[in-house]
Amino acid sequence: MPRKPIELPKIESLSILDEDGNVDKALEPKIDKDTLKTMLRYMLLARRTDERMLLMQRQGRCGTFPQSSGHEAISMGSAIHLQKEDWHIPAYRELAGLLYRGWTIEQTLLYWNGFEEGARPPEGVNDLPVCVPIASQLLHAAGIGMGMRIKDQNNIVMTYFGDGASSEGDCHEALNFAAVYQAPVVFVCLNNQYAISVPLAKQMKNETIAQRAIAYGMPGIRVDGNDVLAVYVATQEAIARAKAGEGPTLIEGLTYRFTPHTTADDPKRYRSEEECNTWAKREPIARYKKYLIAKGVMTQADIDSMEAEIDAEIKQSVTKTETLMQSAELSNPLSMFDYLYNDMPPYLNEQREELKAELEKSKKGNKSEGQAAAGHH
């Protein structure tokens, strides 16, 4: 066995819609008008919800949360392909996809306002809620995909993680499991180039996350993560392979978190405003709007009226959620005991009674501290 180079698959990158909204005609996917509009709608709904939540957080009406602004193209361009029986397994910046899959603005507000009810999947949806412990959801995605193989069901799993998450052992294990069992999983990496303050160059020494696919024996591709069409095409191809029994794919969407990591973070400590502004110009929604107008799918007036509808929807959802947080059902502290086990063990019931007696006796009232008491922090 002489010394010679080992042939490895090549890793491609893909960009279809440039930052000015110009489309590469040769690569442009055929997408019907309704789908194109739907993608814009949920990208906008996510963006505006995110912006509204930021205002609310600053007013003490929402807890600390990680903003999803700038990540809408990766989320929406991939989630759009999912059918009802498929599974959407997010990390925590996939608000566009979550809303598209049937999670509500109310649930988003509840979750980030400290109410467990925000993590309860809506009826008729299989998906898992947002996952805070980094990369851990990827193994669940692998397992669900393995389950689909075992049960001979021709569905797929779409799961998401960040560039920081790619360093966790769970990420490696999930990619390897999915590859070994040829599980129908599409791993979508939102590479926004920062894990809180740690830039990509300190996270890894390889040039792309996509190239790791080679090591696991699966196809990998890097796409412009701010280009919803590129994401659409790459995930469509990955789903086709998964459904054909050809296993998982790793898709890296290169994007940028032009917001802080969470509302508690100050990015001025670790990156220049100049860098941030440069990337903010490449954000996904403006270029997609230009594309839709140039293509004659929507007029500016259509978009304006979509924006107005979305604003009204968000306003209504905020009011509804703030009322809901004060309701007897959601503010009842005793609910902390009710879902831990299918059958409540006796000692836990005793603790529940203990808290109940304490609440009846005490002056502190039995209301949760949702937005009402948030002012002090």
Partner 1 sequence: MPSINMAKAINLALFEAMDRDPSVVVMGEDVGPDEGVFRITEGLHKKFGDKRVIDTPLAESGIVGSAIGMAIYGLKPVCEIQFSGFDYYAFHQLECHASRFRNRTRGRVNVPLVMRAPYGGGIRALEHHSESREAIYAHTPGLKVVIPSGPRNARALLHSSIQDPDPVIYYEPKALYRLFKEDVPEKMETLPIGQAQVVQKGSELTIVSYGASLRACLEAAEMLQEEDGVKPEIIDLLTVSPLDATLVVESVKNTGRVMVVHEGPRTCGLGAEVVARINEAALLYLEAPIKRVTGFDTPIPYFSKERFYIPDADRILNAAREVLSF
Token pair belonging to 332: 């009842």
Identify whether 256 is a catalytic site residue.
no
Annotate each residue in 124-163 with x if it binds partner 1 (CB under 8 A) or - if it does not, as one string.
--------xxx-----------------------------
Of these, 22, 35, 154, 197, which contacts partner 1 (CB under 8 A)? 197
Q: Report helix angle 105-112 to 33-58, nearest 10.
A: 30
Q: Does 195 bind partner 1 (CB under 8 A)?
A: yes
Of these, 126, 167, 176, 236, which contacts partner 1 (CB under 8 A)? 167
Are 27 and 223 within 8 A, CB to CB?
Answer: no
Q: Does 280 bind partner 1 (CB under 8 A)?
A: no
Of these, 54, 125, 180, 196, which contacts partner 1 (CB under 8 A)? 196
Burial call 291-311: b when 16+ CB within 10 Å, e when fewer = bbeeeebbeeeebeebeeebe
* 3-state secondary structure (DSSP) of residue 112: helix
Q: Does 315 bind partner 1 (CB under 8 A)?
A: no
Q: Is the dihedral of CA 271, 275, 262, 175 positive or negative?
A: negative
SS (H, E, C) 200-262: HHHHCCCCCCCCHHHHHCCCEEEEECCCHHHHHHHHHHHHHHHHCCCCCEEEEEECCCCCCCC
Nearest to 97 by CA among 108, 88, 84: 88
Compute CA distances 147 → 44, 60, 185, 194, 245, whole Å. Answer: 34, 43, 11, 33, 13
Identify whether 377 is a catalytic site residue.
no
Identify whether 270 is a catalytic site residue.
yes
Nearer residue to partner 1 within complex by CB, 127 or 224: 127
Q: Nearest approach, Cβ of 201 to partner 1 (angstroms)?
A: 11
Q: Does 264 bind partner 1 (CB under 8 A)?
A: yes
Q: Segment near partner 1 (CB under 8 A), from 41-49, 70-78, 200-208, 296-304?
A: 200-208
* 3-state secondary structure (DSSP) of residue 58: helix
Q: Does 343 bind partner 1 (CB under 8 A)?
A: no
Q: Does 187 bind partner 1 (CB under 8 A)?
A: no
Q: Can you list the positions of beta strands (E) in the chain?
A: 12-14, 87-89, 157-162, 185-191, 194-195, 198-199, 220-224, 249-254
Distance CA(367)–CA(270), nearest Å, equals 40
Q: Does 347 bind partner 1 (CB under 8 A)?
A: yes
Of these, 4, 7, 361, 375, which contacts partner 1 (CB under 8 A)? 361
Of these, 269, 274, 343, 346, which contacts partner 1 (CB under 8 A)? 269
Of these, 296, 340, 342, 343, which contacts partner 1 (CB under 8 A)? 340
End-to-end CA distance of the chain: 67
Annotate each residue in 201-230 with x if it binds partner 1 (CB under 8 A) or - if it does not, as one string.
-xxx--------------------------
Q: Is the dihedral of CA 260, 262, 263, 269 positive or negative?
A: negative
Distance CA(318)–CA(52), nearest Å, equals 9
Of these, 26, 34, 328, 362, which contacts partner 1 (CB under 8 A)? 362
Q: Does 306 bind partner 1 (CB under 8 A)?
A: no
Nearer residue to partner 1 within complex by CB, 38 or 262: 262
In which residue are the tokens 């990827």 written? 138
Annotate each residue in 36-65 with x if it binds partner 1 (CB under 8 A) or - if it does not, as one string.
---------------------------xxx
Residue ranges in contact with partner 1 by CB under 8 A: 63-65, 111-116, 119, 132-134, 164-165, 167-170, 195-198, 202-204, 264-265, 269-270, 325, 331, 333, 335-337, 340, 347-348, 351, 355, 358-359, 361-364, 368-370, 374, 377
- Catalytic residues, which ones? 257, 261, 270
